Amino acid sequence: MTQDDAAKHIGVSRPTFVQIEAGKRSVSSLELDKLAYLFGRDIREFVANEFQQEDSLTALFRVQASVVGEPEVIDKLRECMALGRELTNLERLVGIDRDLSAVASYPFPAPKARWEAVQQGQRLAEEERRRLGLGFAPLPDMTELLESQGVRTAMVELPNDVSGLTLSDRKVGLFVVANDVHHHLRRRFSFAHEYAHVVADRDRSGLISQASARDDLIEVRANAFAANFLMPEDGVRQFVAGLGKGKPSRLFAEVFDGEAALNVEGRSAPGTQTIQLYDVVLLAHHFGVSRISALYRLRNLRLLSEAEFDHLKALDDEGKGKPLATALGLSEPDHAETRSEFKHRFLGLALEAYRRDEISLGKLRELVAMVGLSVDDLDQLLDDAGLDGEDDPTP
């Protein structure tokens, strides 16, 4: 970043910024706050006795150098850093401590080929499911699972080709973000994808998951992890068997009578084992994934042939899947409500910190603005919460 860039960000001329850098001009608290945001730092670091030169943003840019040329992504990254830092501070102010020792770590070597990456992702998912005692059942809410493992989560409006990111910062801790713009089910997949980075790529300061980088081997591994973690093979096969399908069209057995074996062949009635779109709809709903994710999983498990996959995908692309789900009585989540889940939790923490006099009204205004609330919204919120300055009626 040039001196011109930094000067523009804090609203001063370049010569003035040079004077600040040289210690010949004092810096206002507002300018310092803007500088802290610009460099992804906590403002308190600038007045601490010891200053840590290395910061998470710099480390992340070193790992993913391509991001440096994407100003929109960098801006959102700064926003995520600031949000993660404030979330961490609020949790500490109200006495919530994250036990990072609960977060698993699997020191897998970096994959050298796609197939190796897929195999590692599958093994990671199986081992993590086993560690958590999840069996083959559908997973609960992914944010709840991550939070229970000591990982903070958030939903932020990110550029469309960014599905999520994982930050590992000495002050923020482990922080996972999913793109708030994306569909609820895609966010669920993204959280599972980022969880792979948490358990397998902990040595990195952070990772940004972009569509343009989907061929990177650790991204391939994370996607394989997400598919296997959300839809374990045995669970999928068990569900399909429960639909009366998934058997091969021809079955063979050898019955041994002590001297010789008798070959027996059985055949399923034609068409009875063919998976239909409504089966895919039911499977996707069961595991809380999108229909397209379910289709790819069925194909990867050889429960669908290439021709069957193409046929069902074409039907879903024509828009036949959604009305089928409605007709089957499979309600979709309230997307507006799910998009507000993080905002609700963040605001709840901020109000509690304010009620305890841990933060000022000015800081509360700053925090609520970070999740898109206006001053009028805050006034109404304080009024509704009974925190508008009137005496607390509770004893």
Q: Would you say residue 223 has pLDDT above 60?
A: yes
> How many whole angstroms separate alpha carbon 74 and alpha carbon 206?
13
pTM of the entire structure?
Answer: 0.83
In this structure, the strands spanning 206-210 and 162-169 are antiparallel
Q: Would you say residue 191 has pLDDT above 70?
A: yes
Encoding tokens for residue 200? 């397998």
Complete DSSP assignment for 163-231: EEEEEEETTTEEEEEEETTS-HHHHHHHHHHHHHHHHH-TTSSEEEEEGGGTTSHHHHHHHHHHHHHHS
Q: In what order do the strands lie in the sheet with 162-169?
A: 152-156, 173-179, 162-169, 206-210
Half-sphere exposure of 68 (CA within 13 A, CB side): 11
DSSP state of 134: -
Mean pLDDT of 142-166: 92
> How many whole angstroms separate alpha carbon 111 and alpha carbon 121?
10
Mean pLDDT of 38-50: 71
Encoding tokens for residue 202? 């902990």
DSSP state of 258: S
> How many whole angstroms separate alpha carbon 229 and alpha carbon 287?
10
Of 265, 77, 90, nearest to 177 by C-alpha is 77
The pLDDT tens digits of the residues spanning 247-295 come to 777 767 777 877 778 877 777 777 778 999 999 999 999 999 999 999 9
SS3 at position 266:
strand
Q: Would you say residue 101 has pLDDT above 70?
A: no
DSSP state of 332: P
Mean pLDDT of the chain, nearest integer: 87
The pLDDT tens digits of the residues spanning 84-100 come to 989 999 999 999 877 66
pLDDT band at 246 (very low <50, low <70, confident <90, very high): confident
Residue 235: Cβ within 10 Å count: 19
Give the least confident one: 31-35, 143-147, 208-212, 242-246. 31-35
